[in-house]
Amino acid sequence: MTDILPAIWLGIVEGLTEFLPVSSTGHLIITGNLLGVTGPKADTFEVVIQLGAILAVVVLYWERFLALLKPRADMRFSGFRGLWLLFLTSLPASLAGLLLHGAIKEHLFTPVTVGLALGVGALYILFVENRTAKQGEPDKYATLDDITPSLALGIGFFQCLALWPGFSRSAATIMGGMILGTRRSLAAEYSFIAAVPIMFAATGYDMLKNYSLFTADDMLFLSVGFAVSFVAAWAAVKTFIALVGRMTFRPFAWYRLALAPLVIYFWS
């Protein structure tokens, strides 16, 4: 891994797609195959650049994350209560991922299963959007401070859908939040924040297992990918939040349906 151009492209793809309901997995499969960056080392590189995307969310929502450590009277989503809510959201997928990690790696990382996940996730988005169009946008929960323990845990169970590679963690949690009564904007915002603990745990686990694959010569490649992923994720989240109140998620669903056969083609 000496040519940094693939690191730049992969960082851009990871950062732009990690927090959108389109599946970063599917995009990285296509990009990696086009660039010839495949294999165990490439898989671990993708884990490293995920950390860059996670850091972007921490920077964008630094006040909220700081309030988790130093409670604020004007924020109910802060201190122990905020940490407890994030713990409840992370718990179901963390336990399921720990128990099923080997089986997921062995059986679900195939062209057909990832392509199916993209398609099923697209139908999931269309179902929720059609439901919202008929019933109106839910407004039971409008801000982060409205989130309750039962809602946090409910979103956590929906997040388990993301253990199916290609489904998209963002799609699982945003649509799950809307089903449970959150406004569209809150579902997106909480999806970004709730991603941090579970993604940090998952990426840390993979990095500890596979760090020996890399040498000192790979550090520039890793650093460039990390930095580019951070910048791309920062831009993607800022833009997405600005648009989410004025659009539905249907375009993402149609895009996923078009992407699914490409994943199968490029990975087969």
Backbone angles phi, psi at 182, to 5 degrees: -85, 150
Q: Which residue has the higher pLDDT, 56 or 33?
A: 56
Q: Is 46 left (phi over 0), alpha (psi -120 to 50) or beta?
A: alpha
Look up residue 78 and give its two tokens. 């802060």
pLDDT tens readout for residues 74-96: 999 999 999 999 999 999 998 99
- The reported pLDDT for the residue numbered 1 is 58
pLDDT tens readout for residues 200-218: 887 777 777 777 777 777 7
- The reported pLDDT for the residue numbered 105 is 80
The CA R_g of the chain, rounded to the nearest whole Å, is: 18
pLDDT tens readout for residues 143-186: 999 999 999 999 999 999 999 999 999 999 999 999 999 999 99
160 contact partners, CB below 8 Å, separation of at least 6 = 92, 93, 96, 172
Which sequence spans correspond to the domains of the chain? 5-267
- The reported pLDDT for the residue numbered 129 is 95
pLDDT, mean of residues 104-130: 93
